[in-house]
A = this chain, B = another copy of it.
Amino acid sequence: MLVERLLAGDRRALARLITLVENGSAAVPDIMRRVYPRTGRAYTVGLTGPPGAGKSTLVDRLIAALRRATTAGTAAGTSVAVVAVDPTSPFSGGAVLGDRIRMQAHTLDPGVFIRSMATRGNLGGLARATAEVQRLLDAFGFDWVLVETVGVGQTELEVARLADTTVLVLVPESGDAIQTMKAGLLEAADLLVVNKADREGAHRLAAELKHMVHLHRGGQQASRDLDWEVPVIATEAANDKGVEELLEAIGRHRVALETSGRLLARRQARRARELRELVLAELRREVDRALGDGGALAPLLMEVEAGRLDPYGAADALRGRVKVEPPPLNS
């Protein structure tokens, strides 16, 4: 029912489905199976960066720029959905919500949809939930899906990897920290943005980033099979400067991905990761069954609990005893 309404363009159905995904409802796998055939049209952009980098303002300006293109007639019906992932900790909650208000100017625009998602302490499940929400927005028919995450840790990288184009947003204040920036972060980014570019140190940061990009380029090209040198773009989101340039760079990246066949490859890799995660989730349930009352591993667990067998010895005894039986492929 809800899925049909979503596919028919019902926003309230969309909002309710997102809530189901957020809450990890048991109906999600079935919802996703029915939504899946209608996905793949939207172009997704992930934006991440440290807190205070001005990502929300930048996203706000990107929405405006994308919508301007529509109303100016240079692009037909460019609708935009935003998922803002809040890493709400009990001790930081609220701060990020304030940022959301900046985007409220768009709430009356029927071509724009904005939704915040909280992590609720479950960082592991967040990447999957975000991927699922992205699929819902895609199936609904949005042309662009922007995913904004705060932070530069493992989870943010995972979320970033869900996007077709990943933008890392930095500010001059992050300059010194760049030295310790993990190579993985730089490799996950397709575009680098130096926001608040009117501040002191912006030029130096941009130069440093360009240098780092150049150093990393060899490895990147080999792994990506794409003729793309990560551009460094200066923006002042608060003053609406550099936003068109950023959008233009995103567009160039999209073309590079499409013409090289890498867009397809990226999306394939993403589906493979989704499958792996789902299989692992199923395995986790199987392990809990096996370790539970009457389960195949219950006697082993009792030995471990009693201290007669150590967990490492028990796990060693299980080596090779976990089997994944392939299903028959009937399509």
List residues of A whose CB falls within 8 A of some B CB: 29-30, 32-33, 36-37, 40, 50, 89-94, 121-124, 151-155, 157, 174, 177, 180-182, 184-185, 268-269, 271-272, 274-276, 278-284, 286-288, 290-291, 296-297, 299-301, 303-319, 321-327, 329, 331
Contact = CB atoms under 8 A, between A and B. Distances in A.
Nearest to A170: B91
Main secondary structure of the interface of A (DSSP, over half): helix
A324 B296 contact: yes
A90 B180 contact: yes
Contacts of A296: 324-326
Given A180-B93, A287-B280, A324 B321 contact: yes
Given A33-B313, A300-B327, A315-B29, A305 B153 contact: no
Contacts of A310: 32-33, 36-37, 271
Contacts of A94: 180
Contacts of A123: 123, 153-155
Contacts of A177: 90-93
Contacts of A306: 268
Nearest to A288: B276
Given A90-B152, A275-B314, 17 more contacts: A29-B315, A90-B180, A90-B182, A92-B177, A121-B184, A271-B307, A272-B291, A272-B301, A272-B304, A274-B311, A279-B315, A279-B318, A280-B283, A282-B319, A282-B322, A322-B324, A323-B324
A304 B271 contact: yes
5 contacts: A275-B304, A278-B312, A280-B287, A286-B324, A321-B326
Nearest to A305: B268
A146 B92 CA distance: 26
Contacts of A155: 123
A110 to B, nearest CB: 29
A325 B323 contact: yes
Given A36-B310, A280-B284, A282-B322, A291 B304 contact: no
Contacts of A286: 322-324
A212 to B, nearest CB: 13
Contacts of A29: 312, 315-316
A154 B155 CA distance: 13
A175 to B, nearest CB: 11
Contacts of A184: 121
Contacts of A287: 276, 279-280, 283, 324
A155 to B, nearest CB: 8
A321 B272 CA distance: 19
A156 to B, nearest CB: 10
A234 to B, nearest CB: 20
Given A296-B324, A300-B327, A308-B331, A275 B152 contact: no
A303 B331 contact: yes
Contacts of A91: 50, 152, 174, 177
A291 to B, nearest CB: 6
A312 B182 contact: no
A132 to B, nearest CB: 9
